[in-house]
Structure 1
Amino acid sequence: MTRSPATPLPPPKARRRLREAAALTQTQLATRVNVTRATIRAWESGRTAPRGRKREAYARLLKTLAEEDAARRTRSAPPPEPAPTPTPEPTPVLEPVSGPASDTASGPVSDPVSGPEKGSEPEPGSGSEPEPVPEPAPEHPALTPAQAFDALYEFSAPALVRQAYLLTGRRELARESVERAFQTAWERWPEVARDRDPVGWVRATAYEFALSPWQRFRPRHRQPEPPPADPGDRTLLNALLRLGPQHRRTLVLYDGVGLDLPETAAETEASTPAAANRLLHARETVAGRLPALADPRVLHQRLTELASAERLWAAKPTGVRKGGERRTRFRTRAAIAFTVALIGATALTVRTAPTHYEPAVSPGVAVRGVPPRVAPGSLSEAERELRQKLRDRLQDGPERLEPRLE
């Protein structure tokens, strides 16, 4: 079974730019698409992608915003200046060449476009040698999806592990976050491969996993890891970890990675003023503990040194791909097993369910007016004599009746 191609969408940054150009808030755009504001934030950051009818409605709305933006740009653009009228050049006059007529009439006639006629050879010393034909440039073979993924992983994984370490302060969690992000990218590789910034896509996914609040409930992440050996690095890492997750992420993206403010705001799913306020607050907090890092350039250098000082490693791309495939197979098999169990439970219920209505047993009703049961008491003297008399007489049966003559 083949799926129909999904409706194409512009990149996440272009979606945010079109919305801001139309002076629409995320809430207004969410109302027009009939989704929530959090869904629009996730679509504009590239963390999730719309599907089905929501994708078609979102694509139509973005197309309308793009047309309106193009119309506004056309109206605001200055009118083009008229091109200057070219002055007619004088027609050259052919003057007769001095010399014998045989010099001008003899020899092959060459075409100015196609060159000399076939079979004609240039005269020696005339300087009209045939130009060498340029060799075609060698074509690079197209990369397979696995090769493209491996190239992206080897290019960006080490840097992403260092960035995740600045966010979490944990070496193992940083490596696991990047591996999970790349496994998710491999599962959705057609979408990631067409993205204008695949590294940014993977980075956003890794940051989300690293800063997830569920990480605190994992047993192996409850125990603290050994801090950096250098005292200055320990102080800087503690200052980073004292920041809130969003402030820490904004500081790492802007002063560590080097993104500009709109890109940082888009990746952190915040407005540009909010991202600027988070950045200023994070810088003030870090400068309060380390006054030497008040200069952004010094802060950038120290963040780079802190991330490079630790021995952080990343797994091989082949292992990451195979791990993601194993996880996908496990989830698929678990879903199949759950579906089979649900079908079996439903079939058993249908098989054992009653086929007709059975009325419920009516509750009991107390009967009134019945005399209470009384246990028999002891026999009196007369009753005992009567019982003994009956036993004695009835033991041998009644007396025989004989007729007598009178």
Structure 2
Amino acid sequence: MTRSTTDEAAAPQLPSPKERRRLREAKSLSEEQVAAAVGVTRATVRSWETGRTSPRGRKRVLYAKLIAPEPEAPILEAVAPAPEPVAPTPEAVAPTPEAVAPTPEPVAPTPPAAASVIAATQEPTAEAPPPAAPEVLVQVPVVTGTGAERGRAGEREGATEVGGERRLSPAEAFDALYARAAPGLVRQAYLLTGRRALAAESVERAFQLAWHRWPEVAVDRDPAGWVRAAAYEYAMSPWHRLRRAHRHPDAPPTEPEKQALFDALLDLPPAYRRTLLLYDGVGLDLPETAAETEASTPAAAGRLMTARAAVAERLPELAATGSPAEQSALLHDRLGGLAGAEHVPVPRPARAVRTGSEDRARLWTRAAIAGVALLIAVTGLTLHTAPTHYEPPIAPAERVGGVPPRGGPQKLTAQDLKLQKSLREQLSHGPERLIPQLR
């Protein structure tokens, strides 16, 4: 039995694509809210409602619960008699501000799965506490409010105030994204590398890069995914092996099950480990996982199957699970438990990350300016000391009267040796004034 057949048999049945859209609009839910609640992109929700694709696995269950029709109210409540009209009194003839104010229309109840997403787009009030933090490995919803130009979805879902609409400044939007995504990304990077310090460093560097390119990240359809990809790339860089602090992974957990899962993850190749973490840990579907790992969908599926088989050898309960959907749910729980049980460093404040990014940009700018100035100075010195006219080469030395030219020590020929010997002999028999003597 293939994976798609098994998932469709285990997951609930969904209505037709046109009915899915009608149910979503009946609950006053936008495509962005449904995508954030299920953990996919807006384009994926649109493809579900047009019939091009269909959700599978855990996303199918969440999507079915999200668009499920509400139970009808009891008949007694629906046909309850209306109160008899009361004759207006003189005091009630003059309209008051309270009477003129329109009565708010009833709003359809919001499903629990989308409650946190809707609350994320509104400011917390004194009566309503802020939403709870998301799970460790669940995909982080997209922050819609930005100070730069946003997409069409962001224009419709900007943060509001009592007196009117308000847009978040770039710093506020970045801080909101950092506060929501940084803790989960640090734990994901720890599962990817097995090193707590490297996980915190990779997430911080990724957010510094995001702040440096914030005009590009702010209009991205998935800013949290952009930062996640940057953090994963930095964490998986092979150059970290040359650093003494990150040469060896941290000590594994003490519990046998978590230690087996920890060792199984680190034994996987980096590409297979990343694919398993994105699909079974974060909850991305197969095309999104393939796109983020820069691989084709069949290649991502092959990596996922190989990684699951390697992990199943260390975890007997995973090998006993036959359904791929059950394996995915079990791996999701185990990965979340492993990341939540370990003490992972708390990310630094968002303001410190923004300041570090700006300082780093200034440092590289100054280094580039200094390098250009040094290059100009060396070029000017070279032009100043270079010859301005042609100098012919020195002619080679020639023999004069059989005497070798003066050109430094060189090997004497047989004729040179004979001449040297004759000169020495004649010098010893010559006049005394020609013979050097020591005094």
- Shift in CA distance, 132/165, structure 1 to aligned 2, threshold 3 Å: same
Following TM superposition, by how much is the alpha carbon of 1:324 offset from its aligned partner in structure 2, in angstroms?
Answer: 1.1
The equivalent of 2:83 in structure 1 is none
In the alignment, the residues of structure 2 paired with residue 379 and residue 125 of structure 1 have an alpha-carbon distance, to the nearest angstrom, of 156
Deviation track 1:327-375 (CA, whole Å, cap 9, x = no partner) reads 1111111111111111111111111111111112123244574583523
Equivalent runs, 1:34-73 vs 2, <5 Å: none
Counterpart residue number, 1:337: 370
Q: Residues 255, 369 of structure 1: CA spacing in aligned structure 2 closer, same or farther, 3 A cutoff?
A: same
Q: Kindly state the Cα deviation for residue 226 of structure 1 after the two structures are TM-superposed.
A: 2.2
Opposite residue 278 of structure 1, the aligned amino acid is R
* Structure 1 residues 148 and 125, CA gap change in structure 2 (3 angstroms): closer
Q: CA deviation at 1:223?
A: 4.1
- 1:145-191 residue CA offsets vs partner (Å, 9 max, x unmatched): 11111110000000000100010000000000000000000000000
> Is the Cα contact below 8 Å between 2:276 and 2:304 reproduced in 1?
yes
Distance 2:92 2:197 in 1: 76
Amino acid at match of 1:305: G
* Partner-residue secondary structure (3-state), 1:264: helix
Q: How does 1:1-150 map to 2 (within 5 A)?
A: 132-134=100-102, 138-150=163-175
Q: CA deviation at 1:138?
A: 3.5
Assess, with a 3 A threshold, how the Cα gap between structure 1 residues 354 and 125 changes in structure 2: closer, same or farther.
closer
User: Which TM-score applies when normalising by structure 2?
Assistant: 0.55
Deviation digits for residues 80-127 of structure 1 (CA, Å, limit 9, x no counterpart): xxxxxxxxxxxxxxxxxxxxxxxxxxxxxxxxxxxxxxxxxx996999
Change (3 A) 1:263 1:358: same
**Does residue 292 of structure 2 align to residue 274 of structure 1?**
no
Question: Aligned in 2, Cα 1:377/1:198: closer, same or farther, shift over 3 Å?
Answer: closer
Aligned residue for 1:309? 341
Tell me the SS of whatever aligns to 1:175.
helix
* Secondary structure of 1:364 counterpart: coil
Q: Distance in 2 between matches of 1:159 and 1:297?
A: 18
Aligned amino acid, residue 166 of structure 1:
L
| Residue aligning to 1:298 | 330
In 1: Cα distance, 2:251 partner to 2:89 partner: 84
Distance 1:252 1:225 in 2: 19
Secondary structure (helix, strand or coil) at the match of 1:225 reads coil
Please give the residue correspondences for 1:209-358 in structure 2 after superposition, counting only pairs within 5 Å. 209-294=234-319, 295-312=327-344, 313-358=346-391
Contact 2:257/2:315, CA 8 A, preserved across alignment:
no
SS in 2 for 1:220: coil
* CA shift for structure 1 position 326: 1.1
Compared with structure 1, are the counterparts of its residues 327 and 162 closer, same or farther at alpha carbon in structure 2 (3 Å cutoff)? same
Q: What is the CA-CA distance between 1:128 and the residue it aligns to?
A: 11
CA distance in 1 between counterparts of 2:290 and 2:353 reads 30
Alpha carbons of structure 1 residues 378 and 162: separation in structure 2 relative to 1, 3 Å: closer
| Matched position secondary structure for 1:221 | coil
Flag structure 1 segments of 5+ consecutive residues without an equivalent: 1-72, 74-121, 388-406
3-state SS of the aligned residue for 1:219?
coil
Matched to 2:216, the amino acid is E
Higher Cα radius of gyration:
1
Deviation at 1:231, TM superposition (A): 2.3
Alignment map for 1:351-366 (pairs within 5 Å): 351-366=384-399
Partner-residue secondary structure (3-state), 2:276: helix
Q: Distance in 1 between matches of 2:92 and 2:352?
A: 67
Going from structure 1 to structure 2, the CA distance change for 1:366 and 1:276 (only over 3 Å counts) comes to farther
Secondary structure of 2:245's partner? helix
Contact 2:186–2:199 (8 Å) recurs in 1: yes
Residues 245, 124 of structure 1: CA spacing in aligned structure 2 closer, same or farther, 3 A cutoff?
Answer: same
- Structure 2 gaps of 5+ residues are 1-49, 51-87, 105-160, 320-326, 404-414, 434-439
Alignment partners' CA distance in 2, 1:213 and 1:300: 27
Distance (Å, rounded) in 1 between the aligned partners of 2:183 and 2:387: 64
Aligned to 1:22: none
Pick from 163, 168, 180 the counterpart of residue 155 of structure 1: 180
Aligned residue type for 1:149: F
In 1, the alpha carbon distance for the partners of 2:95 and 2:376 equals 83
CA distance, structure 1, for counterparts of residue 401 and residue 297 of structure 2: 84
Give the direction of change, closer, same or farther, for the CA distance of 1:342–1:123 in structure 2 (3 Å limit).
same
Cα 1:368–1:141 shift into 2, 3 Å: same
Residue identity matched to 2:385: T
**Which residue of structure 2 lines up, in the alignment, with residue 79 of structure 1?**
none
From the superposition, tell whether residues 378 and 228 of structure 1 become closer, same or farther in structure 2 (CA, over 3 Å): closer
